[in-house]
Structure 1
Amino acid sequence: MNLAHTTYSGGDTSLFESISNDIVEKGYSIRPYALPEDLTCLLLQHIIELPTDKFKRAGIGRAKGHMINDFIRTDEISWITHNNPASCAWIKWTESLQAYLNRRLFLGLFSFESHFAHYAKGDFYKRHKDAFKGEGNRVLSVVVYLNQQWSADDGGELVIYDKKSRISTVVDNSQIKVIPSFGTIVIFLSEEFPHEVLPAKRDRYSIAGWFRLNNSIANNIDPPS
């Protein structure tokens, strides 16, 4: 099967419906081991084989405000484009998700940008938001994890802060902790949820992406950057 030409739209209808319901009810969705396994394996193989020079130190801010800050984050990233079968298969899957969410929730999602992320042992990303009200056009944040046989002892959890959450087995003082296990999908409203990545005890691989609105001005399309 050629994954680069697969949309996954049919087989993921129930998954997309569950994600939609979660977003309406809670503003976030956590779906363990939910990304199609063949796609997850393809993405993991690709990220492991990426040359080290394809990864760049991640910064904070955008455009002229972009800067490296070791106090805030220490991971490395590689932006995803249509230049290999794994990335093309991933982009097609997100296009199917985007179409479903727009049809179901009328979100007006216009485009998607994403990157591979590598957290070496000890790397972290302090508490932050992906977007601020009135200052950006990121609507939904998407995270997918590519780590096989990951246990709670390996660290590297994603922590989502939700003041509205009730205490449960995964929530402690409004902190929702997500183990970055193979194929786990996390989606949340970009403006609503502060989050952070705790230090990992071994190499940690993921994809982070954002569905965006269209901020075009005078017919000049605002592309992801």
Structure 2
Amino acid sequence: MDHNAVMDAIYARGWAIVDDFLSPAEVAALRACLPAAWQPAGIGREGLHQGNADIRRDQIHWLDAELGAPVADYLARMESLRIAANRLLMLGLFDYEAHFARYRPGDFYATHRDAFAGRSNRRLTSVFYLNQDWQPADGGLLRVYDDGEQHLMDVSPMGGRLVLFLSEEFPHEVLPAREERYSIAGWFRVNGTGLGRVDPPR
């Protein structure tokens, strides 16, 4: 992957899509690390965190390197992206957090932002897809809106595809899936806001 081209795209329009970020074999290796146990996703932070099936119905499992070598390799690649973003865009990104996300048939996530200006330490969102042979009839599109909440694009959750966008600027939603759908949702963060972890996966 050309880090310069990706960061140029984010600088110019606020988002980038990288197909074949990982090979099919690497995607399959990550899928093999999917957990047996999942937790229902919620909304809000810490003491305000709660489930709301009218807003989202997905399940999550937070990533760490102990889940296996493929996860450790993925996190290392994200660290390379963090360094490139700081070098080329001067975003001041301090760390990265991510989780697996599972959408069962019928699951969705209503329109939301991953961060609000001045109120979150999340600056750059990443979504990486783990789905094999995804078809248009399978649903589960990532629908992205511009900062004025006008429809910008639909992104199919094809295996190996990486999506990056500025967290504060793009409202988005996950349309209902018709097949089981897997991804890794992550956020590059700045330091010093004192905010707890939030749970808006893809």
- When normalised by structure 2's length, the TM-score is 0.91
1:123 alignment counterpart = 107
User: What is the distance in 1 between the residues matched to 2:79 and 2:196?
Assistant: 16
Deviations along 1:62-90, one digit per CA (max 9) or x if unpaired, are 11111100000000000001212122111
2:28 alignment counterpart = 41
Structure 2 residue identity aligned to 1:183: G
1:215 alignment counterpart = 192
Distance 1:196 1:216, change over 3 A: closer
User: What is the distance in 1 between the residues matched to 2:147 and 2:121?
Assistant: 23
Note the C-alpha offset of 1:223.
7.7
User: What is the distance in 1 between the residues matched to 2:133 and 2:23?
Assistant: 17
8 Å CA contact 2:58–2:103 kept in 1: the answer is yes
8 Å CA contact 1:81–1:88 kept in 2: the answer is yes
Structural mapping, 1:1-225, within 5 Å: 12=1, 14=2, 16-47=3-34, 50-51=35-36, 53=37, 55-83=38-66, 84-162=68-146, 174-215=151-192
Aligned length: 197
Gaps of 5+ in 2: none
* More deviation, 21-30/123-132: 21-30
User: What is the distance in 1 between the residues matched to 2:124 and 2:152?
Assistant: 19
Note the C-alpha offset of 1:164.
7.5
Deviations along 1:130-186, one digit per CA (max 9) or x if unpaired, are 000111110000000000110111100000002589xxxxxxx63310000011110
User: What is the distance in 2 between the residues matched to 1:216 and 1:181?
Assistant: 34
For the residue of structure 2 that corresponds to 1:29, the secondary structure is: strand
User: What is the distance in 2 between the residues matched to 1:29 and 1:207?
Assistant: 16
8 Å CA contact 2:46–2:197 kept in 1: the answer is no
The alignment yields a C-alpha RMSD, in angstroms, of 1.9
Work out the percentage of aligned pairs sharing the same amino acid.
42
Structure 2 residue identity aligned to 1:141: T
User: What is the distance in 2 between the residues matched to 1:111 and 1:64?
Assistant: 23
User: What is the distance in 2 between the residues matched to 1:79 and 1:180?
Assistant: 20
For the residue of structure 2 that corresponds to 1:77, the secondary structure is: strand
Larger radius of gyration between Structure 1 and Structure 2: 1
Gaps of 5+ in 1: 1-11, 166-172
Structure 2 residue identity aligned to 1:69: N
8 Å CA contact 1:39–1:90 kept in 2: the answer is no
8 Å CA contact 2:44–2:50 kept in 1: the answer is yes
